Amino acid sequence: MIRVKILVLLLAGCLTAICAIGISAESATSGNDFIIEKVKPEVVLYTICRGSYDKVGSMIGKLYALGGKNSIMPRGSVYYVYLNNPGQVSSEHWLTELRIPVSKASLEKAGMLGEMTDVKQLPAMEMAVAIKPEGLADPSGIYNKLYVWILKKGYVPLGAHREIFLTNAMSGDYGRMKTKIMIPVKKVSVDK
């Protein structure tokens, strides 16, 4: 009974938060474009970035160079994890974690790469997934609909969302980039 009350409060809080950012029931899609994907554990080389997308190219280049200098080889597409809400702070204050998947052997370098850069292991998790097409500079509509879809499917968001760059991220022109939007989620179970 206590779990059910906590679940109701949690869902009410999520719905309140969604309404606070301007999502209406009419904006929800049927969900045909969204999926839940299981992501395997991975090791990433990462650095903390501050500022807008126009700095992306140089930051990615520096991270790849640091990896090469330390014999850390990439094993997947580079991606961002948003540490604050880009819709609520100005672009010069955006905080992101820029990540490159690397081999498990790269963990030997953990703690030796600098103050804001390191290697870490990430756990397996479920993600709600959507695609931001090329030519779309403001994906807020996709995010709004995806959060509604997550709740309708019986999940709750767990933390910072990420965007995997499916096209050249080094250009720094976010509107020209196709990305895979991923939000960590957990299925809500209701005890009877």
If one counts every other C-beta atom within 10 angstroms of the C-beta of residue 187, the result is 10
Rounded to the nearest integer, the mean pLDDT of the chain is: 80
Q: Percentage of residues in the chain with pLDDT exceeding 70?
A: 79
Res 86: pLDDT:
76
Report the alpha-carbon distance of residue 168 to residue 20 in Å, rounded: 34
Do the beta carbons of residue 179 and residue 132 sit within 8 Å?
Answer: yes
Do the beta carbons of residue 110 and residue 119 sit within 8 Å?
Answer: yes
Domains in the chain: ranges and CATH: 2-187 (3.20.80.10)
**Residue showing tokens 């790469």:** 113
Rounded to 10 deg, the angle between the 140-152 and 2-20 helix axes is: 160
The answer on pLDDT for 147 being more than 90 is yes
Q: Percentage of residues in the chain with pLDDT exceeding 90?
A: 47
**Amino acid present at 146:** L
> Please, what is the end-to-end C-alpha distance for the chain in angstroms?
7
Mean pLDDT of 37-66: 89
Output the CA torsion sign for 170, 40, 44, 74. Answer: negative
**Pair of tokens at residue 127:** 């993600």
Model confidence pLDDT, tens digit, residues 52-110: 877 777 888 899 999 999 999 999 888 889 888 877 888 888 888 999 999 999 999 99
